[in-house]
């Protein structure tokens, strides 16, 4: 089976992890964190193009810490897309605030600016645009709306490390940017995350929040949790960051090859990079006019680890249905959930893998059309 994503771990990562084990320093509860964590934060901040990066133990922790740093809580509303991973909305619930779900556009499945404007209310405090599949959201009008209504912008950049919007890296456009280094991400350490910002005060507050709210002398100043990134994960992702250019080049090469091989295919819409944006090609997501699930089943039988992100929109999950969200009119979100398939595009693919993925998809589409 060709996996949908695969971490590429080399000898340098292994040596760096061994350094941590031999040092006996597995974590550090000081405000600034352990040595590997500090090194990684410097590298990430430089890559993204911001003053500060604060490492945490997951992308979810990055979102929660960001909302806590902005004093989001009961009575506040946070605008989020429903077509994304559930962590984006769950982070809002965890603070006691109310998620307000916004529809997406069908060009790249990122948040709809038009629907966002309709959903802003007097209770709105934060908007979280998600750069889904590595496609940057349309940030200029989002930031403009946020300024007009006094909202904070927290970018969910979990899937978009290395993507850019008008030459500006995702995670550096809003007040805060949230990244994930889960095992399937562009750079990976199993579990891990980070927040990026140009705000000095927010940086200090985030470091405090990730450490039980303790800034000094074991005196809790704000509500915090244990969100620290362990030293082994920092060692892994630090080395992964050194390899990110080759990872991104591989993804781009594979995406270009898939697009070329599939360009004449009927009944399938391919992802297209907008002129003002650069995608990291975290996922290569197509949409099918008909029989998505039948095509997916055939692909999986042929050994292609294609999958659907996200089959059940957040507002229709059992949890959010119980909270009264299930009947929200989000037509593009529902359409996308019923028509998209993500194909493997990671840098571990060989040329024959890419050819096999493309030929399998074309054959699966032909087979399903015959059976209609």
Tell whether 51 and 116 lie within a shared domain: yes
Same domain for 60 and 175, yes or no, is yes
Does 4 reside within a domain?
Answer: no
Question: In this structure, are 282 and 302 located in the same domain?
Answer: yes
For residue 259, the surrounding DSSP H or E stretch is helix 244-262
Same domain, 88 and 160: yes
pTM of the model: 0.97
Tell whether 21 and 156 lie within a shared domain. yes
Task: Report yes or no on 2 lying in a domain.
Answer: no
The last residue of a domain, from among 212, 242, 272: 242
Element (H, E) at 237: helix 231-242
104 and 211 housed in the same domain:
yes
Q: What spatial distance separates the first Cα and last Cα of the chain, rounded to whole Å? A: 27
Q: Are residues 301 and 363 in the same domain?
A: yes
Q: Which of 208, 227, 242 is the last residue of a domain?
A: 242
Is residue 266 located within the same domain as residue 224?
A: no
Domain end point (choices 218, 242, 266) = 242
Residue 3 lies in a domain: no
- Residue 154 located in a structural domain: yes
Domain range spanning residue 269? 244-371
Q: Are residues 235 and 254 in the same domain?
A: no
Q: What is the mean pLDDT of the chain?
A: 97
DSSP per residue, 37-100: HHHHHHHHHHHHT-SEEEEES-HHHHHHHHHHHTT--TT-EEEEESSS-THHHHHHHHHT-EEE
The CATH number that applies at residue 292 is 3.90.1150.10
Residue 333 backbone zone (phi > 0: left; psi -120 to 50: alpha; other: beta): alpha
Quick: pLDDT tens for 82-92.
999 999 999 99
Residue 6 within any structural domain of the chain: no
What number of other Cβ atoms are within 10 A of residue 214's Cβ?
19
Helix/strand/coil for 328: coil
3-class SS string, 103-129: CECCCCCCECHHHHHHHCCCCEEEECC
Q: Indicate whether 230 belongs to any domain.
A: yes
Q: What pLDDT score was predicted for residue 217?
A: 65
Report the pLDDT value the prediction gives residue 369, as an integer from 0 to 100.
Answer: 81
- Are the beta carbons of 164 and 305 closer than 8 angstroms? no
Structure tokens at 314: 């957040």
Residue 5: inside a domain, yes or no? no
177 in the same domain as 42: yes
CATH number at residue 216: 3.40.640.10
Nearest to 251 by CA among 286, 278, 287, 277: 278
CA nearest to 298, candidates 202, 362, 203, 209? 362
DSSP 182: B
Nearest C-alpha neighbor of 107 from the set 285, 282, 253? 285
Residues 47 and 117 in one domain: yes
Q: Which residues of the chain have pLDDT under 50?
A: none
Together in a domain, 143 and 186: yes
Per-residue pLDDT at 371:
75
Q: What is the total count of domains within the chain?
A: 2
Angstrom distance (rounded) from CA 229 to CA 12? 20
């Amino acid at each position: 089976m060709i996996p949908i994503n695969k971490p590429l771990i080399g000898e340098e990562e292994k040596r760096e992890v061994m350094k941590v084990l031999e040092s006996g320093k597995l974590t550090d509860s000081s405000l600034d964190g352990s040595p590997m964590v500090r090194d990684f934060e410097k590298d990430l901040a430089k890559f993204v193009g911001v003053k500060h990066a604060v490492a945490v133990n997951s992308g979810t922790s990055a979102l929660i810490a960001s909302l806590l740093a902005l004093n989001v809580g009961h009575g506040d509303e946070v605008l989020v897309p429903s077509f994304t991973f559930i962590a984006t909305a769950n982070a809002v619930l965890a603070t006691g605030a109310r998620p307000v779900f916004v529809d997406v556009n069908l060009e790249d499945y990122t948040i709809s600016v038009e629907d966002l404007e309709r959903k802003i209310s007097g209770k709105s405090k934060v908007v979280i645009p998600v750069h889904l599949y590595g496609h940057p959201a349309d940030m200029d009008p989002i930031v403009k709306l946020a300024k007009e209504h006094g909202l904070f912008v927290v970018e969910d950049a979990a899937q978009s490390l290395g993507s850019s919007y008008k030459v500006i890296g995702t995670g550096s456009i809003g007040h805060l940017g949230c990244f994930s280094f889960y095992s399937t991400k562009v750079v990976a350490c199993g579990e891990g995350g980070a927040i990026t910002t140009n705000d000095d005060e927010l940086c200090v507050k985030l470091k405090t929040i990730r450490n039980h709210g303790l800034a000094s002398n074991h005196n809790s100043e704000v509500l915090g949790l244990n969100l620290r990134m362990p030293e082994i994960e920092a060692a892994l992702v630090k080395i992964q960051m050194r390899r990110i250019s080759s990872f991104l080049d591989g993804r781009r090469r594979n995406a270009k090859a898939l697009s070329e091989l599939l360009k004449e295919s009927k009944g399938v819409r391919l992802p297209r990079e907008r002129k003002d944006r650069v995608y990291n090609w975290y996922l290569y997501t197509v949409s099918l006019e008909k029989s998505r699930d039948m095509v997916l089943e055939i692909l999986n039988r042929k050994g292609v680890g294609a999958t659907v992100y996200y089959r059940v929109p957040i507002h229709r999950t059992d949890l959010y249905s119980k909270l009264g969200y299930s009947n929200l009119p989000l037509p593009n979100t529902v359409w996308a959930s019923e028509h998209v398939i993500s194909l493997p595009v990671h840098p571990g693919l060989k040329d024959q893998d890419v050819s096999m993925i493309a030929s399998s998809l074309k054959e699966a589409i032909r087979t399903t059309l015959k059976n209609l």
